[in-house]
Amino acid sequence: MIDTPPAHPWSDLVAGYVTGYEPERGVLDLRTADDVPVRVHLVGDITAELVRNLGDPRVDLSGRLDELLVPGAALFVYGIYYPRQGGAVFEGKNLVFTGTRPGEYVFEQQGWWTRQLDAIAAFYRGAQFGTGPVDFRDYRTILRLSGHKTDHHVQETDTISRLVYGMAAAFMLTGNEDYLDVAERGTEYLREHMRFVDRENDVVYWYHGIDVEGEYERKLFTSEFGDDYDAIPCYEQIYALVGPTMTYRASGDPAILADIEGTLRLFERFFHDAEHGGWYSHVDPITLSPHHESLGPNRARKNWNSIGDHAPAYLINLALATGEPRHMAMLRESFELITRHFPDPDGGPFVRERFHRDFTPDPDWGWQRGHAVIGHNLKIAWNLTRMNALEADPRYPELARRIVMRMPEVGSDTRRGGWYDVVDRTADPRLGGRHRFAWHDRKAWWQQEQAILAYLVLAGHAQPDGSRADGARRGRAQGAEFLRLAREAQSFYNAFFLDHDEGAVYFNVLANGIPYLLGDERLKGSHAMSMYHASELCFLATVYGRLLIHDQPLTLWFRPLPDGFGAERLLRVAPDALPPGRARLEWVEVDGDPYPAFDPVAMTVKLPDSRTRLTVRAHLVPGGAR
Dist. CA 620–CA 34, nearest whole Å = 37
- Tens-place pLDDT, residues 256-302: 999 999 999 999 999 999 999 999 999 999 999 999 999 999 999 99
Full set of structural domains in the chain with CATH:
10-104 (2.40.50.140), 112-549 (1.50.10.10), 554-622 (no CATH)
Q: Provide the pairing of β-strand 203-206 with 195-198.
A: antiparallel
Q: Does residue 3 surpass a pLDDT of 60?
A: no
Least confident of 9-18, 95-104, 464-473, 611-620: 464-473
What's the mean per-residue pLDDT of the chain? 95
Q: Does residue 463 surpass a pLDDT of 70?
A: no
Q: Average pLDDT for residues 433-456, to the nearest whole number?
A: 97
Residue 225, pLDDT score:
77
- Tens-place pLDDT, residues 355-367: 999 999 999 998 9
Q: Which DSSP symbol is given to 77?
A: E
Q: Does residue 464 surpass a pLDDT of 70?
A: no
Q: Average pLDDT for residues 244-250, to the nearest whole number?
A: 98
Cβ-Cβ contacts under 8 Å for 234 (sequence gap 6 or more)? 267, 271, 279, 280, 281, 282, 283, 305, 306
DSSP-assigned beta bridge partners for residue 498: 505
**pLDDT band, very low/low/confident/very high, at 626 (cuts 50, 70, 90):** very low
Dist. CA 540–CA 522, nearest whole Å = 26
> Residue 527: CA atoms inside 13 Å, Cβ hemisphere, count?
12
Going by C-alpha positions, the residue among 418, 436, 459, 419 that lies closest to residue 550 is 459
Question: Who wins on pLDDT, 543 or 473?
Answer: 543
Question: Who wins on pLDDT, 128 or 475?
Answer: 128
What global pTM score does this model have?
A: 0.96
Residue 215, pLDDT score:
76
- Tens-place pLDDT, residues 186-225: 999 999 999 999 999 999 999 999 998 877 889 998 888 7
Question: Who wins on pLDDT, 21 or 470?
Answer: 21
Residue 4, pLDDT score:
66
Do the Cβ atoms of 547 and 556 come closer than 8 Å? Answer: no
Residue 1, pLDDT score:
44
How many other CB atoms are found less than 10 A from the CB of residue 489?
26
Going by C-alpha positions, the residue among 520, 492, 493 that lies closest to residue 505 is 493
- Tens-place pLDDT, residues 141-166: 999 999 999 887 889 999 999 999 99
Q: Average pLDDT for residues 104-109, to the nearest whole number?
A: 98
SS3 at position 109: coil
Share of the chain above pLDDT 90, in %: 91
Residue 624, pLDDT score:
60
How many other CB atoms are found less than 10 A from the CB of residue 144?
14
Residue 214, pLDDT score:
75
Q: Does residue 465 surpass a pLDDT of 50?
A: no
- Tens-place pLDDT, residues 26-56: 999 999 999 999 999 999 999 999 999 999 9
- Tens-place pLDDT, residues 404-438: 999 999 999 999 999 999 999 999 999 999 999 99
Going by C-alpha positions, the residue among 443, 494, 460, 472 that lies closest to residue 382 is 460
Do the Cβ atoms of 195 and 206 come closer than 8 Å? Answer: yes
